[in-house]
């Protein structure tokens, strides 16, 4: 949907450009944003309107060409045109990373791939390249049809193809500052909860033997959160995140084998609190303990998938930063989306956008139609 807010138009356009840029292109986006605002103000005679913003955007041109020319963002890779090299490689990495994360998670649960897909694949393994080629042809056809449907969309509106290509963008954004603070608070909170004597007596014998390792890991997570809160995303913090994720994967192998960690729950009979033995209850009534084991396996699976994803993203980003000549520590960015508009809470307190939506009224009283609402 096209907006009448000039700042929203610029943000929407920049979101489209971002899809085609390499991962470390926040500087380029900010430079483009400043350029568009100043150009729109110049066109509007000092005032930015939806019309002037739209003209500035049209002068800038097609997002994929802008990204390619502006940031020199890509070289032709095989059959992939230069403009599409970044989004295609990003989405391939995302798919491979998701596959790697899921395979690792499934393997930790002790499920073989053949159990999932069946061992009866015809002409294994020669069927694999044929399947890939067939799928690529189908994808090519779908992309062609989608592009045809999108051809009349305005410059500020993401095409369906860009929405697909943009899927990986969020996964690679730096951790937000408030998310980092959340890691600190939750790490300390759960670290303390796991160690509370009233909680420790609820554990199974096997989990009691290792709960301190889990507590230490949670506190390390809080330290990592604090470092991200202070220093943003830099090589040290990324390396720490990658290291802790690897440690978690190793720990998860042990935790999966230990199984559901809680043996007792508190029960109140109207007079006093006592411990209710879950295992005894299930075995005495011949009920299998399966639901709890499955819940535990599912929790471990999800955390391992996230950990593998973090290892992959951290390694990619560290390589990227090292190539850019950065060292171990610097004041990095946080992943909050920069918004040109004043947040709601500030608007409630009476602070307004620097750029107000203003109608351009001509000398003869004519008002630009796209700003009249």
Partner 1 sequence: MSMSKKTEEELDRWSKEVKRGAVTLAILALLSKRRAYGYEAVKLLGEKMSFLALEQGTVYPLLRRLEQRELLRSEWDYEDPTKPKKYYAVTEEGQMALGAMVKDWSILSREMREVVLEVE
Task: List interacting residues with partner 1 (CB under 8 A).
Answer: 27-28, 30-31, 33-35, 37-39, 59-61, 65-66, 69-72, 340, 354-355
Residue closer to partner 1 by CB (options 21, 307) is 21
CB atoms within 10 A of CB 271: 6
Q: How far is the CB of 66 from partner 1 (least distance, A)?
A: 6
Residue 254's closest CA among 191, 300, 291, 292?
300
C-alpha torsion sign, points 69, 71, 72, 73 = negative
Closer to partner 1 by CB, 60 or 252: give it. Answer: 60
Q: Quick one: which of 248, 252, 239 has its CA closest to 322? A: 239
CB of 35 to partner 1, least distance (A): 5
* Residue nearer to partner 1 on the CB measure, 228 or 355: 355
In the bound state with partner 1, the residue whose beta carbon lies nearer, of 3 and 279, is: 3
**Residue 262 DSSP symbol:** B
Q: Which is nearer to partner 1, 71 or 313 (CB)?
A: 71
From residue 118, give the alpha-carbon distance in Å to each of 112, 114, 115. 10, 5, 5
Q: How far apart, in Å, are the Cα atoms of 123 and each of 114, 116, 134?
A: 14, 18, 16
Nearer to partner 1, 338 or 367 (CB): 338
Q: How far is the CB of 239 from partner 1 (least distance, A)?
A: 25
How many angstroms separate the Cα of 330 from the Cα of each of 228, 231, 235, 284? Answer: 11, 7, 8, 59
What residues pair up with 267 in beta bridges, in sequence order?
274
Query: To the nearest whole angstrom, how small is the minimum distance from the Cβ of residue 324 to partner 1?
Result: 9
Q: Residue 237 Cβ, how far from partner 1 at the closest point, in Å?
A: 21
Task: Name the minimum Å distance from CB 28 to partner 1.
Answer: 8
Task: Report in angstroms how near the CB of residue 244 gets to partner 1 at its nearest.
Answer: 31
Calpha distance 6→18 (Å, rounded): 18
Closest to partner 1 by CB, 69 or 293: 69
Shortest approach of partner 1 to residue 322 CB, angstroms? Answer: 15
Distances (CA, A) of 316 to 99, 180, 214, 363: 16, 20, 27, 57
Q: Where do we find the tokens 């301190």? A: 212
Nearer to partner 1, 28 or 169 (CB): 28
Cα(109)–Cα(328) distance, integer angstroms? 36
Give the integer Cα–Cα distance in Å for 260 and 297: 8
């Amino acid at each position: 949907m096209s907006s009448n807010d000039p700042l929203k138009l610029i943000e929407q356009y920049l979101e489209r450009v971002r899809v085609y840029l390499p991962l470390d292109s926040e500087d380029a986006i900010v430079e483009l944003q400043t350029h568009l605002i100043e150009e729109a103000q110049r066109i509007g005679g000092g005032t930015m309107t939806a019309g002037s913003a739209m003209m500035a955007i049209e002068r800038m041109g097609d997002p994929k060409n802008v990204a390619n020319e502006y940031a020199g963002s890509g070289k032709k890779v095989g059959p992939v045109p230069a403009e599409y090299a970044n989004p295609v490689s990003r989405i391939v990495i995302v798919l491979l990373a998701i596959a790697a994360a899921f395979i690792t998670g499934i393997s930790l649960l002790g499920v073989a791939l053949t159990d999932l897909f069946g061992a009866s694949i015809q002409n294994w393994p020669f069927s694999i390249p044929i399947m890939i080629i067939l799928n690529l042809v189908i994808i090519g056809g779908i992309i062609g049809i989608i592009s045809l449907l999108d051809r009349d969309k305005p410059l500020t509106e993401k095409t369906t193809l860009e929405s697909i290509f943009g899927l990986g963008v969020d996964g690679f954004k730096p951790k937000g500052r408030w998310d980092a603070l959340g890691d600190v608070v939750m790490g300390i909170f759960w670290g303390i909860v796991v160690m509370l004597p009233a909680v420790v007596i609820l554990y199974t014998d096997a989990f009691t033997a290792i709960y301190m390792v889990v507590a230490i890991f949670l506190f390390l997570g809080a330290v990592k959160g604090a470092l991200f809160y202070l220093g943003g995303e830099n090589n040290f913090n990324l390396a720490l995140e990658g290291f802790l994720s690897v440690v978690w994967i190793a720990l998860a192998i042990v935790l999966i084998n230990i199984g559901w960690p809680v043996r007792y729950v508190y029960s109140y009979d109207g007079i006093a609190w006592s411990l209710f033995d879950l295992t005894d209850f299930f075995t005495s009534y011949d009920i299998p303990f399966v639901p709890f084991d499955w819940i535990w396996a599912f929790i471990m699976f999800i955390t391992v998938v996230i950990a593998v994803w973090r290892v992959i993203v951290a390694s990619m980003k560290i390589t990227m930063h090292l190539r850019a000549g950065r060292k171990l520590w610097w004041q990095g960015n946080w992943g909050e989306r920069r918004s040109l508009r004043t947040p709601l809470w500030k608007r409630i307190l009476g602070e307004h956008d620097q750029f107000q939506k203003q109608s351009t009224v001509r000398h003869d009283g004519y008002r630009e139609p796209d700003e009249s609402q």
